[in-house]
Amino acid sequence: MGTVAAHGLRKSFGKVQALDGVTLDVPDGSFFVVLGPSGAGKTTTLRAIAGLEKLDAGSVHLDGRDATRDAPAERDLAMVFQSYALYPRHTVYENIASPLRARRCSSGEIAAAVEQMSSLLHIERLLQRRPSQLSGGEMQRVALARALVRSPRAFLMDEPLTNLDLKLRVEMRTELTRIHRSLGATFVYVTNDQVEALSMADQVAVLKEGKVQQVGTPTEVYERPANQWVAAFVGSPPISLLACRADGDRLVGADGWTLPRPRWTTAEDGRELLLGLRAEDLSVEQRGDVSLSGELYGLEPLGDRTVVDVRVGTEILKVKARPTVTGTPGERLQVTVDLDRAHLFDAGTGLSLSEAGR
Amino acid sequence: MAVSVDEAVSTGPARDHAPPARRLGGRGRSVLEVVLLTVLAVLMLFPVLWMLETSIKENRDVYAIPAKFFDFDVTMAHFKDVFVAPDGGRTALSVSFFNSVVVAGVSTLLATVLGVPAAWAYSRFAVRAKKDQLFFILSTRFMPPVVVVIPIFLMYREFGLIDNKLGLILIYAAFNVPFTIWMMKGFVDEVPAEYEDAAMLDGYTRLQAFWRYTLPLLVPGIAATAVFALIFSWNEFVFATFLTSSDSVRTAPPAIAGLIGGTTTDWGLVAASSVVFALPVLVFAYLVRKHLIAGVTLGAVRR
């Protein structure tokens, strides 16, 4: 068993409201990612679950039992810190053995467990070194080994891959997913990297300014963002948002463009809206019935694809195109829009208006 | 990072390619530096040198006029007189040195045992009105200690702590605890709290986490702080004079001062006991010199 339920977490640091009613329900065995920009309260949430942060309000239930007032040691959780927090005066072996020593395991058990972990994470050669003699990637593995060496209720990971270089990060992503599958344990994983969130998670909770914006599978969060902010935060290149308003069977842009009004929207006429268009739902290469005209603003070749920036009125649309696309800035372009995949948000509240009709 | 004296007095960027002896640059400048530093060193160190010389001079050379700088007869008799009485027993001075060791040692130990956990708590926990509390603790060091000699004397008389080693130990510890808290808080701040967080998740209690993983990292800081406290307690004169009277309780500073006065002063004995008195401090300061610099340049400590 390993369910983690955090309800109505509130925590302020001086005038800053770090957590403003955060509620998360992490199912047993899931890979649960808390995603948000820096300062969103992700780490505070994790530390609150771990018992390292005293809450102003709210409760933490572990396996259905109220653990809000339990000391960290009593919660039976393991955590990987962003800084790794390896004990500097102890060898790698002693670092990994620490959770077992705290539980007074016999030295035979400890040796066996450390050996098993170090072979799982390929750090057998490092056991007698000290943390200062390790590279970033090696430290990360040791920190992971220290967490994995016992079988806690759940694993808490605070941006464990942030300090690694890109190549290593991609490798470790795969490895973490593999470890999660083989252990079948509950992972609560905090990151500001949406690629990590989308690629690893069973469930994603998007956090902003201490409030949960949306909880769902990666697909749900990407395909059906609950609000304008989630839509803009998740996805690369970022979604293009155009100010507009509904007018009969048309959407009229603030810059004068018009598009047919999508059938699924329930917005009443005259309401200020934001039309959200993802780069892959736009095209400058295919002809379609529904299009916007604009001029080429710039090209961002990314190797496997090129992002074409198209200026429509005063706003920039990001359009995904094949890497072979060419053009000169200022050139007139037609951008084909897949309106079935577009998103509409209330310009005032930012909330999605797409859901009701779909 | 510790700054060596060479670095501290360096006069600017290296002048590798500058033409030599331009204005006061190059050799001219360093000669002037050496001369000034030498003059300063002689002025500062002459009394020390004189003390060392006097402590090993025969008595007739001690009182010779004009004073003898080099061609005096060497004797260790004064040092023997410090410890061994004419009748072969222990001298009052040697007892006072022993008292100084006990008083300075125990009061430093007490201040460290009380101050280090307090510093840790102030560094790690959200304490109500933390800044005010810390300021209050520091403020006890603002006034010259002499100011409270009379009240302390009256208080001690009520409690029977006059002419009692415990009395001196307590008052020195009281002066050293605020200092220890402030200095150690800086060192604790430098140790990331995440080690303790990690240890608590490993399954240790907060105190175990502190004991196992933070305390070992604080040892250099504790050593530096304790040496400062030890030097204060070792050197303290005013309270020792007021609060003690008998030879069996007296610490070295008033005991040595007591040698001066009366009809004649045995300067050889004064010098020898001063040397004995100064040595432990010098040795300790030498042992922890790196940490002393680290201690006084707090915040610049690089781990």
Residues A117-127: tens digit of each pLDDT: 998 888 999 99
Contacts of A308 (CB under 8 A, 6+ apart): A284, A296, A298, A299, A300, A318, A319, A320, A321, A325, A327, A333
Q: What is the pLDDT of residues B36-93, one digit of tens each?
A: 999 999 999 999 988 998 888 888 887 877 777 777 778 888 888 888 888 878 888 8
| B184 and B52 fall within a common domain | no
Query: What is the nearest CA distance from A1 to chain B, expressed in angstroms?
Result: 18
Q: Mean pLDDT of all residues in chain A? A: 90
| B77 and B104 fall within a common domain | no
Pairwise CB contact (< 8 Å): A52 & B205? no
Token pair listed for B128: 């109500």
Q: What angle do CA B283, B287, B289 make, to 5 degrees?
A: 110
State yes or no: pLDDT of B13 exceeds 70.
Answer: no
- Do A207 and A43 touch, CB atoms closer than 8 A? no
Q: State what percent of residues in chain A have pLDDT above 90.
A: 66
| B117 and B250 fall within a common domain | yes
State yes or no: pLDDT of B12 exceeds 80.
Answer: no
| B195 and B102 fall within a common domain | yes
Query: What is the nearest CA distance from A216 to chain B, expressed in angstroms?
Result: 28
Sort strands A250-253 and A258-260 into parallel, antiparallel or unpaired. Answer: antiparallel
Task: Collapse the DSSP code of B164 into the 3-class scheme (helix H, G, I; strand E, B; otherwise coil) and give the result.
Answer: coil
Taking the Cβ of residue B215 and every Cβ of chain A, the question of whether any pair is shorter than 8 Å is answered with no
| B120 and B71 fall within a common domain | no
| B250 and B281 fall within a common domain | yes
Residues of B in contact with A54 (CB under 8 A): 126
| B204 and B109 fall within a common domain | yes
In a domain, B15, yes or no: no
Token pair listed for A227: 């609000």
In a domain, B2, yes or no: no
| B107 and B67 fall within a common domain | no
Of B194, B203, B206, the CB nearest to A81: B194
* CA distances, B179 to each of B114, B185, B186 (Å): 11, 10, 11
Beta sheet of A291-301, edge-to-edge order: A282-283, A332-337, A291-301, A306-312, A315-321
Answer yes or no: is the ipTM higher than 0.90. Answer: no
Pairwise CB contact (< 8 Å): B192 & A85? yes
Q: pLDDT value at position A336?
A: 92
Q: Of A160-164, A343-347, B27-31, give the lowest mean pLDDT range.
A: B27-31
Total domains present in chain B: 2
Q: pLDDT value at position A55?
A: 93
| B115 and B159 fall within a common domain | yes
Domains of chain A: 4-225 (3.40.50.300), 230-346 (2.40.50.140)
In a domain, B6, yes or no: no
Q: What is the pLDDT of residues B148-201, one digit of tens each?
A: 899 999 999 999 999 999 999 999 999 999 999 999 999 999 899 999 999 999
| B49 and B122 fall within a common domain | no
In a domain, B271, yes or no: yes
Pairwise CB contact (< 8 Å): A85 & B217? no
* Residue carrying structure tokens 């309800």: A7
| B146 and B198 fall within a common domain | yes
In a domain, B154, yes or no: yes
Residue in chain B closest to A150 (alpha carbons) equals B202
Q: What is the pLDDT of residues B99-147, one digit of tens each?
A: 999 999 999 999 999 999 999 999 999 888 989 999 998 888 888 888 8
User: Residue B96 belongs to what domain range?
Assistant: 92-296
* Residue carrying structure tokens 């593999």: A178
Q: What is the pLDDT of residues A43-81, one digit of tens each?
A: 999 999 999 999 999 999 999 999 999 999 999 999 999
State yes or no: pLDDT of A195 exceeds 60.
Answer: yes
State yes or no: pLDDT of A337 exceeds 70.
Answer: yes
- Do B275 and B52 touch, CB atoms closer than 8 A? yes
| B246 and B167 fall within a common domain | yes
State yes or no: pLDDT of B301 exceeds 70.
Answer: no
CATH of the domain at B235: 1.10.3720.10
A95 backbone φψ class: left, alpha, beta (φ>0; ψ -120 to 50): alpha
Boundary of a domain, candidates B66, B83, B100: B83
In a domain, B303, yes or no: no
Pairwise CB contact (< 8 Å): A81 & B195? no
In a domain, B126, yes or no: yes
Pairwise CB contact (< 8 Å): B197 & A85? yes
In a domain, B10, yes or no: no
Pairwise CB contact (< 8 Å): A87 & B126? no
